[in-house]
Chains A and B, each alone.
Chain A
Amino acid sequence: MNDVNDKLKIKSPSAGSPPGDGKGPASAQLENAGLSLEEQQLFCDAAPVPYEPYSPEFLERFHNWIRANSMWVLAFGTGCGAIELNPLMTSRFDANRFGIQMRPTPRQASVLIVAGYSSIKTLKRIIRSYEQMQGPKFVIGLGICTINGGMYWDSYNTIKRLDRYLPVDLYITGCMPRPEALLAGFMELKRKIKAGECDGANRYVKDFEWYKANQKKVIKKWDMPDYNW
């Protein structure tokens, strides 16, 4: 099992990664320029803040243990990979015994599985769902299309690298990954959460300007607030 986990580890960050200076959003207020004036009053204009870990260290380890053993997944099948989520959640491969459930709303979910390719239209909805989830939250990139575009490398409507638009904690490669591969990926995610290595939500907040600039470069119809609470 250990060498499987070794193979599943993501490599060190490369040139396409955020600057990592971690200073937080430049302005404490969001512009929300994509909305009309009446709608701007309905949406919050405070920038997101990173969540702080619990101060006695054993409490943080305890909470990590809790988070790792009840990973609730948002039931949003964004692409091809959703077809192997069905066998995973039903009685043959039963992910429920690991504490993994599918939840219909982002407010109750802590894991977002981006299953395969994301068209621009779906990416907008994925970002809205991700921002509505409450931290700490984790993103799994399923399949080769999230890694480098896969077989849609020359498609005008799909994104090629997911980690430029959302902070990804784990990649599971394959087309499609089998349910056993998905379970191995979940076990690796569990290990990472317990070790405290999954800080995707905080990375998103610290490099907020960089992620937003990338998102706005591909999503042309920006008629939503800059941060969806």
Chain B
Amino acid sequence: MFELNRLSEAELESGKYTKIWHGPQHPGITGNMSLELTLSGDDVVECKTHVGYLHRGFEKMMERRTFIQNFPIVCRIAVPEPTFNEYMYAAAVEELAGIEVPDRAQWLRCLNLEMMRLASFLMWLGGASGSFGMNTVYQWTVTHRDYMLDLFEEMTGARIYHMYITPGGVRAPLPEGFTERAMSVMNGIEKLLFEIERVVLNNHIFKLRSQGLGVIDPAMIDPYGIVGPNARAAGLARDVRKDSPYLVYDQLDFEIITGDKSDAYNRTVQRYHEMHQCISLIRQMLEQMPTEGSFHADLPNVLHWKIPAGQTYVKSECTRGEYGYFLVTDGSEYLRRVTIRGPSYTHAIAVMEKLVVGVNIADVAGLMVSLHTYPPEIER
């Protein structure tokens, strides 16, 4: 079906091909992953991916800690975008334990998640422009992302690993004057995005290099399990926030954005529009945020917290697509099994090995970054 043709041993020894290692330290990716590329001249003929540089054995570690001990460590699974792990772990535990989360906590969680999406997109945009040679844009976006990290610090107490969303609710309400500061940061980011549209998306060289690079055929999407902006750019209207609404997304006003062809350029345009959508959602939430009410449900004694046996699957839409947690409990104080399914699991391995064939070596980094993969969530 979508079988890859591998070169035989005799062909590899014949001297016509060069083998190089692209990684684990290389541009185009936030995380460590290597590509073993076989080149014929400048073009890639075959690729084997190697992961495992960031493997810490999270699923095993989480089985050895109680439910409340797990929530601080869970954010470190996907390093550049940590909050989704906290939310999904909390949602899975609450569903199996039957805990009702107060309304104000839902709004605060949703605001935190949308801000995290925007911060992650900003860092991605810097990396994407840097992979094609525009390093100044990287400086701009990381700086504006830093203003968002300041907002996170006001909201949660930490810049990167918030440990804010716990089973039961959130840990603190918004501080005084947060809305004004957040709105001014959003205005600054919106101005930056218009500037980036001029400088990056209308840039002749960027268009030449990225149009036609790494085209995802719509017939490839379901066999390979491609999700998120990669699939939406090909025209499929699939978004977990609309298909299975969670938190307060059914009360917010937004549309699924789609494109017509999924190549590196259109995926960049797709994510650019999704960044504008994030800003609009954050503004809506800041205006409609309830200011009274409890932000945390009462939990039983967390040292001896036992959850009835069950299995559940919780999904959310992170910047890269459908991110899911499959949680299995067996009635004891420890969970039986947790499976963390990150979207980069297929994008970085199966899809990458298929798309990189025939690509010039100078564009490999650009292709990797246009698929938006984060290796920490592949090997956890």
> For the complex, is B138 an interface residue (Cβ under 8 Å from A)?
yes
B56 and A117 contact, CB distance less than 8 A: yes
> For the complex, is A23 an interface residue (Cβ under 8 Å from B)?
no
A175 and B161 contact, CB distance less than 8 A: yes
Q: CB-defined interface of A110-132 with B at 8 Å, one 1/0 digit per residue?
A: 00000001010110010000000
A-side contacts of B138, CB under 8 Å: 90
A139 to B233 alpha-carbon distance, docked (Å): 44
> For the complex, is A76 an interface residue (Cβ under 8 Å from B)?
yes
Which of A80, A104, A176 counts the most chain B CB atoms within 10 A? A80
Report the minimal beta-carbon distance from B46 to chain A, rounded to whole angstroms: 22
Chain A contacts with B in 79-111, Cβ cutoff 8 A? 79-80, 82-84, 86-87, 90-92, 104
B79 and A80 contact, CB distance less than 8 A: yes
A79 and B54 contact, CB distance less than 8 A: yes
Report the minimal beta-carbon distance from B292 to chain A, rounded to whole angstroms: 33
Given A151-B76, A178-B159, A78:B56 Cβ within 8 A: no
> For the complex, is A152 an interface residue (Cβ under 8 Å from B)?
yes
A-side contacts of B161, CB under 8 Å: 175-176
Which one of A75, A91, A92 lies within 8 Å of B25 (CB-CB)? A75
> For the complex, is B32 an interface residue (Cβ under 8 Å from A)?
yes
Report the minimal beta-carbon distance from B50 to chain A, rounded to whole angstroms: 9
A178 to B157 alpha-carbon distance, docked (Å): 12
Q: CB-defined interface of A25-63 with B at 8 Å, one 1/0 digit per residue?
A: 000000000000000000000000000000000000000
Which one of B56, B145, B149 lies within 8 Å of A152 (CB-CB)? B56
Q: CB-defined interface of B245-260 with A at 8 Å, one 1/0 digit per residue?
A: 0000000000000000
Number of A-B contacts (CB under 8 A): 72
> For the complex, is B73 an interface residue (Cβ under 8 Å from A)?
yes
Identity of the chain A residue whose Cβ is nearest the Cβ of B145 in the assembled complex: A87
Query: Is chain A's binding surface mostly helix, strand, loop or mixed?
Result: loop
A77 and B61 contact, CB distance less than 8 A: no
B-side contacts of A158, CB under 8 Å: 56
Query: Is chain B's binding surface mostly helix, strand, loop or mixed?
Result: loop
> For the complex, is A155 an interface residue (Cβ under 8 Å from B)?
yes
Identity of the chain B residue whose Cβ is nearest the Cβ of A156 in the assembled complex: B57
> For the complex, is A157 an interface residue (Cβ under 8 Å from B)?
yes
B-side contacts of A87, CB under 8 Å: 142, 145-146, 149
A125 to B95 alpha-carbon distance, docked (Å): 42
> For the complex, is A21 an interface residue (Cβ under 8 Å from B)?
no
A-side contacts of B32, CB under 8 Å: 77-78, 122
Q: How large is the interface on B (under 10, 10 to 19, 20 to 34, 35 or more residues)?
A: 20 to 34
> For the complex, is A3 an interface residue (Cβ under 8 Å from B)?
no
Q: CB-defined interface of A135-159 with B at 8 Å, one 1/0 digit per residue?
A: 0000000000000000110111110
Report the minimal beta-carbon distance from B74 to chain A, rounded to whole angstroms: 11
Which one of A77, A90, A157, A175 lies within 8 Å of B142 (CB-CB)? A90
> For the complex, is B160 an interface residue (Cβ under 8 Å from A)?
yes
Which one of B24, B60, B139 lies within 8 Å of A156 (CB-CB)? B60
Which one of A80, A92, A119 lies within 8 Å of B53 (CB-CB)? A119
A119 and B25 contact, CB distance less than 8 A: no
B-side contacts of A92, CB under 8 Å: 142-143, 146
B-side contacts of A117, CB under 8 Å: 56
Chain B contacts with A in 152-188, Cβ cutoff 8 A? 159-161
> For the complex, is B207 an interface residue (Cβ under 8 Å from A)?
no
> For the complex, is B242 an interface residue (Cβ under 8 Å from A)?
no
A84 to B64 alpha-carbon distance, docked (Å): 29
B80 and A83 contact, CB distance less than 8 A: yes
A-side contacts of B61, CB under 8 Å: 152, 154-155
Q: List 18 A-B contacts (CB under 8 A).
A: A75-B25, A76-B25, A77-B32, A82-B30, A84-B160, A87-B142, A90-B139, A91-B139, A92-B142, A92-B146, A104-B25, A121-B52, A121-B55, A125-B53, A151-B76, A152-B61, A154-B64, A176-B159
By a beta-carbon cutoff of 8 Å, the part of chain B in contact with chain A is 24-25, 30-32, 52-57, 60-61, 64, 72-73, 76, 79-80, 123, 138-139, 142-143, 145-146, 149, 159-161
A87-B145, A90-B139 are known contacts; what are 7 more A-B pairs with Cβ within 8 Å? A86-B142, A90-B138, A90-B142, A91-B143, A121-B52, A151-B72, A157-B57
Question: Closest 7 CB pairs between A and B?
Answer: A90-B142, A76-B25, A122-B53, A90-B139, A155-B57, A91-B139, A92-B146
